[in-house]
A and B are shown apart, each in its own frame.
Chain A
Amino acid sequence: DAGVIQSPRHEVTEMGQEVTLRCKPISGHDYLFWYRQTMMRGLELLIYFNNNVPIDDSGMPEDRFSAKMPNASFSTLKIQPSEPRDSAVYFCASSFERGGHLNQPQHFGDGTRLSIL
């Protein structure tokens, strides 16, 4: 089975540019998560969706960040305008509610390494 697929794997862009990160979750999974990982702050949850609906976006740092999930097989995280402090590795993860049981393991993609110059 294909795992969570993220693109691009690496992105280098100049400050002020719009950045779009993409994620394809595992087929059949009904939860999708966006995380950011830095040396200073570790792995932080930005936002998560259930059945394509945003449930908790309290981790989104500011209005420059937005996330969408137009359908069950695709999600985007946008940063506009980007700043050097946004440089990090961004991970997407998915999980599914097994038989009504929540808090299931999350399956992560290999991330997008973002560098803002």
Chain B
Amino acid sequence: SQKIEQNSEALNIQEGKTATLTCNYTNYSPAYLQWYRQDPGRGPVFLLLIRENEKEKRKERLKVTFDTTLKQSLFHITASQPADSATYLCALSNFGNEKLTFGTGTRLTIIP
């Protein structure tokens, strides 16, 4: 069955460092991969979308890579700040299918 794993439940990073989160998948050939941020008591908020034919996408301090050979996406936050503390979710979908399958999330804490 399809499986999406995010590297760890919780990750603590020192402020100013780069935070790297991992999303691995098996038994899946997604055409799109999205990353969302979720704060306590709130709904997920979209951050970035990357397509299978794209290797890398950037938005301000955020960078996402998508390696379909390794079946892995890396999500980087550079110059991390305490305000970046949240749970980050990866989500996969197939071409032409709006159905998103979410990973279990990684709770990121940036330590001042």
Interface bin, chain A: 20 to 34
Which chain B residues lie closer than 8 Å to A66 at the CB level?
Answer: none
Tell me how far the C-beta of B15 lies from the nearest C-beta in chain A, rounded to whole angstroms. 28
Query: Is there contact, CB below 8 Å, between B44 and A108?
Result: yes
Closest to A107 in B: B46
Docked pose: A32 CA to B12 CA in angstroms:
35
Q: Mark B30-72, 1 if CB is under 8 A from A, else 0.
A: 0110100000011111100100000000000000000000000
B100 in contact (CB, < 8 A): yes
Describe B's contact surface by its main secondary structure: loop
| Contact, CB under 8 Å: B98 / A48 | yes
Q: Are B32 and A103 in contact (CB under 8 A)?
A: yes
Of B20-28, B76-84, B102-110, which binds chain A? B102-110
Total interface residues in chain B, CB < 8 Å: 23
Contact call A105/B49, Cβ cutoff below 8 A:
yes
Interface residues of A in 30-79 (CB under 8 A from B): 31, 33, 42-45, 48, 50, 55-56
Query: A108: which B residues are within 8 A, CB to CB?
Result: 43-45
For residue B103, which residues in chain A have a CB less than 8 angstroms away from its CB? 42
User: Which of A50, A55, A93, A103 has the largest number of chain B CB atoms within 10 A?
Assistant: A103
Measured CB to CB, the nearest residue on chain B to A9 is B41
Say how far A104's CB is from chain B's closest CB, in angstroms. 8
Residue A83 is within 8 A (CB to CB) of chain B in the complex: no
Q: A42-B104, A105-B49, A106-B46 are in contact. Are A48 and B99 (CB under 8 A)?
A: yes
Q: Which residues on B are within 8 Å of A, measured CB to CB?
A: 31-32, 34, 41-46, 49, 89, 93, 95-105
